[in-house]
Structures are given as C-alpha cells and as structure tokens.
A = this chain, B = another copy of it.
Amino acid sequence: MKYFCKTNQSTKQLAETILFLKAVSDENRLKIVCFLKSGEKCVCEIVKFLELPQNLVSHHLKILREKNIVKNRKEGLKVYYSINHKNIDKLIKFFNSLTGEC
C-alpha cells in the first residue's frame, strides 16, 4: 500500500493527506477553492462572493494557505489568492492510488 502501511513511514504521509482533506472538506473553504478556479481573487472579492464576515474568510484562507492549497501575493493594500495546482494534483494521485493496484 503506497500511502498507508501499519509498520512503515507512510503513516506520516497519511497524516498529511488527512490535514489536506480536512482543509478542503469545509463548505466555505471548498467554495473558495471553486471560486479561485476562475483565477486569482483578492480577499475582498472572496468576502463579497461568500457573503461572510471578513475575519472568518481570513481564517479559512489561512487554513488553505497552511495546507498549501492556495498561495497569495500582496499588491498594495490587497492580497490576491490563487489555487496551488501542484498540491491538488497530488491529491488526485492519492485517490487514484486507492482505486489502483496495491
């Protein structure tokens, strides 16, 4: 088993995958990811889109950032967020490994 075996070091990899999955398995965060699919957005745009308090959006963005699901860049006052495709590709590979051979 590539991603989890009771006795080897893949337990660490499993833990990482769980954190990643938890980060996207929240309604608001998944909405953010889907929203960013159409391109880079600043926080205030995400706030308007989700119709949530700004501090709550910042909190969710932090979680997505920490798990490297999104990346950000600062431009003047605004902070722009976008999807980190690399990490999502990684997740797809993981799920593929579940259906593939052991």
Contact = CB atoms under 8 A, between A and B. Distances in A.
A99 B88 CA distance: 7
Contact of A83 (B6, B15, B17, B99): B99
Copy number in this complex?
A: 2
Given A1-B38, A14-B34, A99 B95 contact: no
A34 B95 CA distance: 10
A25 B22 contact: yes
Interface string A24-68: 111100110111011000000000010000000000000000000
15 contacts: A1-B34, A1-B38, A3-B34, A4-B35, A14-B31, A18-B26, A21-B24, A21-B30, A37-B98, A37-B102, A83-B99, A88-B95, A89-B99, A92-B96, A95-B95
